[in-house]
Structure 1
């Protein structure tokens, strides 16, 4: 059991669950480990955004503007580490899983209105979300990733030519 957790490159998914005291906690799925954290998935995403240098609200507002969405918006937790998280429903819901874009290897139909998400190293999660809905959210997260990579790529070229350009 951990009190704090930052999303890292190995983070595959944040799964909500209630502990024996009725507290909303998170099962963190990583490529080679699983942890229980005493914070909700949303609190972990918010904390991770701040940890990497930008508040959750700012990241949320930027993603909304870039994608033209109003709800269930994917979040770029850290641009330089390419950490993009996708909520499966409203982030405020106690049923919201957060999936790491880089670790989604496939999404299959499971039962009616359910999907099986295939993650890195062959692990999988069964979610109460329609496959097509998850695929659409994955596409939006990919668009956010592409847009931010393109924009930040311009700064990389300038930085290579003029290493101190930001200080003037």
Structure 2
């Protein structure tokens, strides 16, 4: 039976050591991002994904940051974007280039924030 993408993301988060809602709350806490949040599925393995739309919507796709090679505006339909992956496969999405670039930037910021070592407890050492 085919599972919805959000269910697969939630299961992957559990394999990565935390539940989806906890990961999303941590992203908000560390970055201030509250909508279409990138999700650190397994931060120690550098597995980060981001939604193209609200995860509640049927048309939402999940993209894995480190698998994306490039993004290009569709030449005939400027509201659509061609995503090229490192394996050279392409995916046409009904999402603007601006929106996907913004999601890439937000995910990059999330990666940086989750890669930093906590300093708030250093005074206890």
Normalization by structure 2: what TM-score?
0.89
Deviations 1:136-162 (A, max 9, x none): 00000001001111227x8xxxxxxxx
Q: Which residue of 2 aligns with 1:126?
A: 92
Secondary structure in structure 2 of the residue aligned to 1:80: helix
Q: Which residue of 1 aligns with 2:56?
A: 92
User: Whose relative contact order is higher, 1 or 2, with alpha carbons under 8 Å and at least 6 apart?
Assistant: 2
1:36-47 map, 5 Å: 38-47=2-11
For structure 2, which runs of at least 5 residues remain unmatched after alignment?
120-125
Secondary structure in structure 2 of the residue aligned to 1:148: helix
- Provide the rounded CA distance (Å) in 2 between the counterparts of 1:145 and 1:100: 12
- Provide the rounded CA distance (Å) in 1 between the counterparts of 2:64 and 2:58: 18
Deviations 1:40-61 (A, max 9, x none): 0000000110112101000001
Secondary structure in structure 2 of the residue aligned to 1:39: coil
Alpha-carbon RMSD across the aligned residues, in angstroms, is 1.3
Aligned length: 117
The answer (yes or no) to whether the contact 2:31–2:113 under 8 Å persists in 1 is no
**CA radius of gyration, larger in:** 1
Q: Does 1:102 align with 2:47?
A: no
Q: Does 1:71 align with 2:30?
A: no
Q: Which has the higher strand share?
A: 1
1:4-153 map, 5 Å: 38-110=2-74, 111-151=77-117
For structure 1, which runs of at least 5 residues remain unmatched after alignment?
4-37, 155-168
